[in-house]
Structures are given as structure tokens and as C-alpha cells.
Structure 1
Amino acid sequence: MTSKQATVGAEDFELIRQQVRAFVRHDVVPREEEIADSDAIPDDIRRKAADMGLFGYAIPAEHGGLGLDITQDVQLALEFGYTSLSFRSMFGTNNGIAGQVLVGFGTEEQKSRWLEPIASGQVVASFALTEPEAGSDPSGLTTKAERDGDDWVITGNKRFITNAPEADLFVVFARTRPADENGTGIAVFLVPADSAGVSVGPRDKKMGQQGASTAEVVFDGVRVGHDAVVSGDVDTGFRAAMSVLARGRVHIAALAIGQAERALEESVAFASTNRQGGRPIGENQLVQAMLAEQKTLCMAGRALVTEAAAAYLSGADRRLGPSAAKLFCTESAGRVADLAVQVHGGSGYMRGVTVERIYRDIRLLRLYEGTSEIQKLIVGRQLLRDVGKGS
């Protein structure tokens, strides 16, 4: 899988970034409460995002996308993180973990069929990996795919699947056999949402990220042809999952820092205007200390994810760096959000206050696409492997 697919030069990309920044701040931010209260992204925002190419900014240009590389993706994620995280979630899987499976591992026929409508937003792609007994570690998959003549029959349950209620295409991971010396036995299938035997449960009621829909998906004897097997190889699934999740971790790290920077901005604004005892609370040294910690974590996270993206793009590091960036940036963002509530005092605990929503929204980033604990295992194991290689 390669990420060297950018077709947009630095000058043109800066124009794109500025347009995204303006859209986020002028169109989306003023409607954050509407998004939270309605638990939905307004149709006009979705249409404008599609018109701007946001459903396919990371899809190669030859397949209808903008063809941005991972370093450019990170810069946009920092902008997306400034507002409700559900906004980014609307098109995140098209560009990320679902779309990148096709970009990196799909056959030419599969790419030709699916990538252009994914890039335009006509098709919403959903990444169906997580199960009740398999989350950050996909080796525990129990969803099965059994060969029946020229077809495959898929049976199993997936949970917490982002955009499942709106999905047109499920990128489904299933086990074709127990793992053996020949491979993991995990394949990935392209399953249209209207296939017989596919059913989507009610939308999950979540702590935060209102406007982003997740749900359980049941595959009950769903029949697909062999042309639905990504790459045509039934042992591609595990490798594809690990590859796209690593790339996705860099993106999530940047998204976390974007949200942390918004929390910092809200904290500074509150500290400079809210008065206690006749003077702004920002004049108190302990409040200044909290702001300083927030700013330091934001700066460190931005530097780390920028470096991780560059190493991913060059191929120098596509394992340790993404996990280290996601671990540090999401944990740091959680700390920044917590401090933001503290700076606001009792006001920060009230619904309708921006930092209260951020506090709830940002918590999920330490869970999906690999928990913080999984990232620690990946980093630790890779360090030991590197020592072994060196000796």
C-alpha cells in the first residue's frame, strides 16, 4: 500500500486548507448546538462538503478524489477538529479506513466500480471490523465467510459501526478458515448495504459525538460473488486492516489536536473575560498554569503528528510512529479538555457550553482505531523488534 498519491501542490493545497478552514468556522461552528440537539448533520452542510470534495479528499485523483497525501490529510484533520467531531465522521470512513482498503488493496475492477462514487459522496462506505469479541485486535474475529460454489456466504455480527445507518457499502472483515501457517484466514469483502441478509440495528445512544451515527450490523447468510473479495486474495484482510488502521491513527491524532486547540481557545477566551472578585480569572497564576499546560500539549502534539505523517509518507515508519502519535495526541487532548472544564469551573459542566461537549466528544478518540493500551503494546513490541534487528 502506498500513500504517495498526492496530485495537489503546496500552493493549491494551501488554498484548499483555507477553504476548509472558512467552511468549518463560518458554516459548521455556528450550528454545533443544532447538530448536537438534532443528532444529525444538516443536509445543506453535507451537500456543501460533498461539493467541496471532502468525501474524497484522500482518494486518488484518477478515481475522482483530490488525491491528498497523508501529510496534507493531517493538515485538514487539524481544521476538522476545530468543530463537532461528528462533522468529520460524516466523510471520514470514505477517505480513511473504508476507502483506503480499496485504494491500497482493491482490484482495478473494484476501484473502478466504487471509488468514484465514494469520492463524490454518492456512496457512503462503512468499515465493518469491530465485533462483540474483537475490537482493537482483529485476530479474534468470529464473523465467517464460507465458500458455496462460486460465491461466499457471510454470517456474523458487527458492532459500533460508524455510518452504518447511512451506509451504501460495507467493507466487511470475515474469517474464511482458522489461522494457519499459510495466513490469518481473514478476508475482506465488499458488501452492498441492500444485499439480502444485511440488517442494521437502531442508532447507538452515545456519550458524545451526537450527529455521528453508529449501529450494530448483522450479516445473516449474505451471499456475494468472489469478485467481492478485496484483492481477490482471502488472506488480505488482516494485512489490509493493519495497514489502514495505522494510517487512520495518524489522522485521528491530528483530529485530536485540532479539537484540543479549540478547547484551549475556549479556555483562553473564558479566562480573559470571566471575572471573579472584580478581575479576570486569567490573572490568577494557577489559571495561567492550566492554560500553559494546555498550550504545551497542543504544540507537542501538533509537532509529533506532523513528523509521524512525514515518516508515514516516506515509508520510513508506518507502525511505531502512527501508534505513538495516536497515543500521545489523544491522551493529551483528553487532558486539555479536562483542563478546559476546570478553567470554566461550574460553567464548564453545563450542557450547551462548548467545552462540556468537547469533553464528551473527545473521549472516544482514545478508544477507536485501537485503544491507548493497544498503541502502547504496538510501540513497545516494535522497539524490541528493532533491537533484535539491530543485533
Structure 2
Amino acid sequence: MSNAGMNTEVFEQFLIQLERFVRDRLIPVERKIIETDLIPENVLEAMRDMGLFGLTIPEEHGGADMNISQYIRTMHTLSYAMPAFRSIISINVGMFASAFKNGGTEAQKAAWLPRIAAGEIAAFGLTEPGSGSDAAGLQTTAVPTADGWLLNGTKRYITNSPFAKVGLIMARTATENLPKNAHISAFIVPLDIPGVTICKSDRKMGQSGSHIADIVLEDVHVGSEALLGGELGKGFALAMMSLDNGRMSVGAAATAYARRALDSAIRYATERKAFGEPIANFQLIQQMLAQSEIEIYAAECMMDDVTRRADAGENILRKAAAFKVFATEMCGRVVDACVQIHGGAGYLAEYDAERFFRDARIYRIYEGTTQILQLQIAKHMLREFAAAN
């Protein structure tokens, strides 16, 4: 179903404001975030004031009601700054809000979407120690009680869980595996209730200021109203419906971060001198700059195309996967070229090139690894061929 989104003129003015915010407020605090591993609270408040936590949430629930193109362009603009800023809002406006819009009851939407739009942080609990892309291996259970459900299990690599007020937790509601993963349901779980333990934040290769941690559920009791949509067996389907948006968001983030790295490389190449002249004059440096520009442009075109198709109501599963794969792999090549152009300086933490390199590595892994998405793309291609022949 298509969504007209925000008024076009209002949205374009918002993007101009956001670009200024990224330049004037976010990039200047990046070094502090690297030192403290936290986004300053005053910056988070400024992000809340701009409405960044409710971009896709309907206006009646306090959001901006952006369509997919507007949302992804916003993520692209925001992601020129370090990844922590997109990470802190992406679960709210991507996975959590999408699942509620696609499958929540009216009472659930009214209870939670205004809080999320106002800036309460949400988490999305699908991945476990023994299952990620393999939903059939999911072990967290939800057992019915007289007045609700009892949840037990562990969720792993859960973004924002140390800061989150609520989690959307996928749990097994049937012991056997059912077709289309109907053995998995989704539950709304406040993360401050008895039995919920948020473990210590994991130490990571990069992405300072963005936190992931395990969520352990031990005899966690929730009421019957916690079952998303009020129906069993819809949890995994709702999670998958939101993954297209998540993959486009990661693709947009990788595309923007590649642009940031290329801008850094150009600046360094024009300032750094060797053999009496700027290294930007050397043709092999120019080749790396040009190739990076070519690949970023290709990713930008894919982003524009897939989001336009999504807003038109097309099934974009394959194209969203293709964009995510290309953009994230491209970003890996560009940040590597950025280090190479910096030479020895690119290996030093004093320069941005080395953290661009570390930050970008995860883009090829989360929201579906490159390899899982390649398999998914091929599966759909073969299925279409078989249906046509």
C-alpha cells in the first residue's frame, strides 16, 4: 500500500535543516562519543526535538508519517555522521514502528507509538545465540498462562537494549516448526519488568556510541495484550515485513558513509604532498577517487529506484536485498581506498580513515549478511524462472 508521506516542500525544508544539524551538531561531537562511547544527552534531546524518533509513525500517533523514500533519504542524510546517530533511532522508526503499523491492534498502536515517536528507545529481539537468519532454530518460548504469557530465552546482539524501554520479542508459541514460521509470535515486553536482564554491552570493532547487548528472559510474565496483533503465529511475518525497510536503511547508511570517507580522502589528497606536489595529482590516487565516486553514484541510483518502487506498492524484496548488498560491499571498498589514500596516516586513530574502516565492516553483516541475501535473491530468481516456464 502506497503512502503519500509528508508534504514535499515541508520535507525538503526538513532535509535542509537536518543537513545543517548533522554538520553543526553531530559531527563536532563525534570525538567525544568515541572517547565516552555514549551520545551526549543534550544531543539526544535535540534529536527528539527534531522528531527523528518518529519519522515513519502516523501523525495521529505523534510522528511525521514519512513515506519510504522520505524515510530512506532522511537516514541517508543522517548517516553522513557517525553510525551511532542512525543506530539509536533506526529500531524505533524501522523495525518496531513498522511491525506495529503492519500488525498491531489499535489499542497497541495508541499505547506505544506516541511514546516511541516522543523518543522512548525500542529494541527488536529476533536473533539468539543459536539462531539468526535461521528462524526455525529460535528457542525463546512463550507459554500461555491464565492471564497472559510466560517468556523464557536469550536474545543476542540486540541493538539499543542497554537504553531501551521496550522490546519487541520474537518467541516460539508452538513446539513444532510450522510452515511460514507460524510457530513464532511477537510480544511487546517492557524491559524493566521482573525477569528481564539486560547484560553488559558487548565490545565491538567499531561504531562507538552504538550499543548491543544480550537480553535474558527468565519467567517473564506479560499480559494477554502483549501479543502483537492479538494473533498467534504472525510474529515472524511481521518481522520480515519490516526487514525490507531495514535493509534499505542500512544500504542508505553505507552509501552516505562511503561519501563521508571519500570526502575525507579528497581533502587529505589535496593537502598531503609528496615529491613536491599534492598526492591528488598522481594518477593512481585519482583512479581510487574516481572509482569510489562511480560506485557511490551507482548505489545512490539504486537507492532512488528501490524506494520509488516501494512507495508505488511494488514487492521490492529482491531489489531491497540487492541494494543492501551492493551498497554495503561498495562502502567496504571505498573505506579501504580511503585508508590507502591516507597511506601510513590511514592506520592511525588520529585520522578518521581508520574508524571509517572499522565502522563500515558491520554493514555487510547485519540486516542479512551479503551471503544470505545473495541466496535469497537467487532463490527468488529461480522461483520466477520456474513459474514462467
Using structure 1 for the length normalisation, give the TM-score.
0.97
Residue 124 of structure 1 aligns with an amino acid whose one-letter code is I
Gaps of 5+ in 2: none
Change (3 A) 1:154 1:347: same
The CA deviation at 1:183 is: 5.3
Give the AA of the match of 1:173.
M
Matched residue, 1:106: 104
Compared CA separation, residues 380 and 182, structure 1 to 2 (3 A): closer
Once the two structures are superposed, the pairs formed by residues 88-127 of structure 1 within 5 Å of their partners are 88-121=86-119, 123-127=120-124
Equivalent of residue 308 in structure 1, options 306, 309, 312: 306
Q: CA deviation at 1:224?
A: 0.9
- Mapping for residues 77-226 of structure 1, pairs under 5 Å: 77-121=75-119, 123-177=120-174, 178-180=176-178, 184-226=182-224
Rounded to whole Å, the distance in 2 between the matches of 1:74 and 1:326 is 12
Shift, 1:137, TM fit: 2.9
Q: Percentage identity across aligned positions? A: 37
* Match in the other structure for 2:71: 73
- Per-residue CA deviation, residues 240-264 of structure 1 (Å, 9 max, x unaligned), is 1111112110111011100000011
Tell me the amino acid that sits aligned with residue 160 of structure 2. Answer: N
Equivalent position of 2:247 in the other structure: 249
**Separation of aligned partners in 2, 1:24 and 1:334:** 22
Change beyond 3 A, Cα 1:260–1:286: same
Tell whether the 8 Å contact from 2:124 to 2:168 is kept in structure 1 after alignment: yes
* Matched residues, number: 388
- What is the CA distance between 1:318 and its match in structure 2? 2.5
Deviations 1:224-277 (A, max 9, x none): 112111111111111111111121101110111000000111111111111011
Deviation larger for 175-184 or 211-220: 175-184
2:368 — aligned with what?
370
Partner residue, 1:60: 58
| Aligned residues of 1:176 and 1:187 also touching (Cα < 8 A) | yes
Question: Normalising by structure 2, what TM-score?
Answer: 0.97
User: C-alpha distance in 2, partners of 1:19/1:129?
Assistant: 35
Structure 1 runs (4+) greater than 6 angstroms displaced? none
Q: Which one-letter code corresponds to 1:207 in the other structure?
A: M
Q: What is the CA deviation profile of residues 103-143 of structure 1, one whole-angstrom value per residue up to 9, with x for unaligned ones?
A: 2111100000000010010x211001111111123232111
Q: For residue 232 of structure 1, what is the aligned residue in structure 2?
A: 230
> What residue identity is the alignment partner of 2:147?
D
Corresponding residue to 1:13 among 8, 11, 14? 11
Alpha-carbon shift at residue 388 of structure 1 (Å): 2.3
Alpha-carbon distance in 1 for matches of 2:33, 2:155? 26
Deviates more, 1:189-198 or 1:310-319: 310-319
Provide Cα deviations, 1:146-196, integer angstroms capped at 9, x if missing partner. 112231111000111111011100100001112235852100000001111
Q: Given residue 277 of structure 1, which amino acid in structure 2 is its aligned partner?
A: F
Residue 28 of structure 1: which of 26, 29, 35 is its match? 26
Task: Give distance in 1, aligned partners of 2:365 and 2:310.
Answer: 22
TM-aligned CA deviation for residue 40 of structure 1: 0.4
Paired residues of 1:159 and 1:217 also in contact (CA < 8 A): yes
| CA deviation after TM superposition for structure 1 residue 381, in Å | 0.6
Residue identity matched to 2:362: L
Letter in 2 for 1:218: V
> Superposition RMSD on alpha carbons, in Å?
1.2
